[in-house]
Amino acid sequence: MSNLKYGIMGGTFNPIHNAHIRMAEEVRDILDLDKIIFIPTGTPPHKNNLNIDALDRYEMTKLAISGNDKFEVSDIEVLNKGVSYTVETVGKLKEFYPNVEFYFITGADSILDIYKWKNPEKLLSLCKFVSVKRPNYSDDLEAKIKEIVDKFGGEILLVDGPLLNISSTEIRERVREGRPIYDFVPQKVADYIKENKLYIKWI
Ligand code: NAP
């Protein structure tokens, strides 16, 4: 029986930014995880008009984590032609790594949307959740998390995050307006966005 613990950092990553990387680092450190698998969404159930190729989001994720041997990126959702549901993705990972304990990492507020996700009960039986506090998180977050666990079971850990006020939406707006994004994303990601002329026409 292995004692390995892997984090899963799922995200639209449109684009991936420094807060994503920092929160993954923080969680890996706090929970002493063996590695973190970044999983860019293919066609996510909750955002259906992304206007960007999933492979571009995947490439940017690969560039953002390059050089960190505790980080890995998976194309499991990007290569899936249909809609990717987290419960199915984590189910596949559990089949592939039956003895690994998985921790799905989310922002503090996005965990509150889990009621709308596919089969939350099964998902919470497959992995633990780690909810990372971010700037302006809800005051009653702990109570709301308790309600989720009371309803669906499982375990949701609440951890302090890096509190970086960065959002993918702001980055896309800055690119469109021709403003710099070097403080927001790793240099290689900024270069990729520029070279591939991403986010110029639409946000
Ligand atoms: P995202 O916008 O790319 O963000 C990825 C994660 O980083 C989110 O948990 C987000 O939390 C967090 N984050 C972003 N900026 C942050 C900051 N400055 N500080 C701290 N945390 C920050 O990804 P997403 O679109 O929310 O999707 C997240 C995952 O949920 C994906 O794997 C997706 O497939 C999954 N999901 C699944 C279903 C389903 O199965 N039905 C439905 C919806 C989402 P916040 O959301 O709090 O910003």
Query: Is the minimum distance from the CB of 161 to ligand 1 under 6 angstroms?
Result: yes
- How many Å apart are CA 1 and CA 14, to the nearest integer? 37
Nearest CA residue ID for atom 12, ligand 1:
107
Q: Is the pLDDT score of 182 beyond 60? A: yes
| Ligand 1 centre distance from Cα of residue 98 (Å) | 25
Q: Is the pLDDT score of 71 beyond 60? A: yes
Query: Is the minimum distance from the CB of 74 to ligand 1 under 6 angstroms?
Result: no
Nearest CA residue ID for atom 43, ligand 1:
46
| Ligand 1 centre distance from Cα of residue 12 (Å) | 7
CA angle 169, 173, 174 (to 5 degrees): 115
Nearest CA residue ID for atom 13, ligand 1:
107
Q: How far is CA 94 from CA 2, 4, 9, 71, 171, in A?
A: 13, 12, 15, 18, 34
Ligand 1 atom with the shortest distance to the CA of 12: 3
pTM: 0.95
**Closest by Cα among 64, 40, 53, 56 to 181:** 64
Q: Is the pLDDT score of 133 beyond 90? A: no
What is the percentage of the chain residues whose pLDDT exceeds 90?
A: 78
Extended strands (E) in 117-201 = 128-132, 156-159
Q: Is the pLDDT score of 134 beyond 90? A: no
Give me the mean pLDDT over the 27-51 stretch: 88
Quote the tokens at residue 54.
């999933």
Q: In the predicted model, what is the mean pLDDT of the chain?
A: 92
Q: Is the pLDDT score of 131 beyond 70? A: yes
Q: What are phi and psi of 35, to 5 degrees?
A: -160, 170
- Higher-pLDDT residue of 109, 54: 54
Ligand 1 atom with the shortest distance to the CA of 167: 15
Of the pLDDT bands very low, low, confident and very high (cuts 50, 70, 90), residue 45 is: confident
Give yes or no for a contact between 39 and 89, defined as CB atoms under 8 angstroms apart: yes
Query: Is the minimum distance from the CB of 7 to ligand 1 under 6 angstroms?
Result: no
Q: Is the pLDDT score of 138 beyond 80? A: no
Q: Is the pLDDT score of 203 beyond 50? A: no
Max mean pLDDT range (77-81, 125-129, 198-202):
125-129
Nearest CA residue ID for atom 38, ligand 1:
117
- How many Å apart are CA 153 and CA 164, to the nearest integer? 30
Query: Is the minimum distance from the CB of 133 to ligand 1 under 6 angstroms?
Result: no
Give me the mean pLDDT over the 26-49 stretch: 89
Q: What is the pLDDT of residue 49?
A: 67
> If you ran DSSP here, which 8-state letter would residue 111 be given?
G
